[in-house]
Amino acid sequence: MKSLSRVLWGIVLIVLGVILALNALNITDVSIFFDGWWTLFIIVPCFIGLFDNEGGKTGNIIGLIIGALLLLSCQSIIDFDVVWKLLLPIVLVIIGLSFIFKNAISSSISNKIKEINSKNKISKNKEYVSTFSSQKLDFSKEEFTGCYTSAVFGGIDIDLTNAIIKEDVVINASAIFGGIDIRVGNEVNIKVNSTSIFGGVDNKIKNNDKNKVTIYVNATCLFGGVDIK
């Protein structure tokens, strides 16, 4: 999906460059500064963001709809007062729908996560919370069976590069105005299931069919992010 987003950005830049070149040669006279042109700085990144990252499209959908409404308002198609009144209801409805249909959209991964969580029954000493603070979790030379992490206005750094992982595990990560970094070795695969609102999961790991163990990251991001590297 990330390669597709790069292609889309490439197309946008090429089209813009061609238009500017043709205008400079007086072949065309296309104005890129139309009424509400600035809304494209909201619309284009949010649209392309729908094809980027694993899960976590809610924030991009909200931004895309808000950008489109603002553009229509600038074009005098919709009254700005109406747009202003609709913003909060639209945001609430989209967020609600994202929570309702989260498992339906990625049912296979969600079912696997439920299965592993039920099987492993993560104990209380595997629950880590960082509020207005930061902490580093190093599982080197330990058998890792999964954990619950929550970063609220704080940060958590999880180091699994030298951890012992014998079977598929789940990291349940909640980042609210905070960040969670997960560092893994080259011998594992990563699969992500996330609900993200003005935040997201950035997975830099490329899966390999030769890897026998998968780490499932079950993420909820609210103005926060999870970085897997």
> What secondary structure does DSSP assign to 78-137, as a single string?
S-HHHHHHHHHHHHHHHHHHHHHSHHHHTHHHHHHHHHHHHHH---GGGEEEEESSEEEE
Q: Which residues contact 165 (CB under 8 A, 6 or more apart)?
A: 143, 144, 188, 213, 215
Boundaries of every domain in the chain:
2-100, 107-228
pLDDT given for residue 138 in this prediction: 92
pLDDT given for residue 52 in this prediction: 63
Rounded Cα distance, 212 and 50, in Å: 30
Q: What is the mean pLDDT of each run of 10 residues along the chain (229 residues)?
A: 70 89 87 85 83 65 87 89 86 77 63 74 72 91 89 94 90 92 89 80 83 87 88
Best CA proximity match to 217, nearest among 116, 139, 113: 113
pLDDT given for residue 221 in this prediction: 85
Q: Which residues contact 145 (CB under 8 A, 6 or more apart)?
A: 120, 122, 126, 169
pLDDT given for residue 6 in this prediction: 76
pLDDT given for residue 44 in this prediction: 87
pLDDT given for residue 161 in this prediction: 92
pLDDT given for residue 101 in this prediction: 67
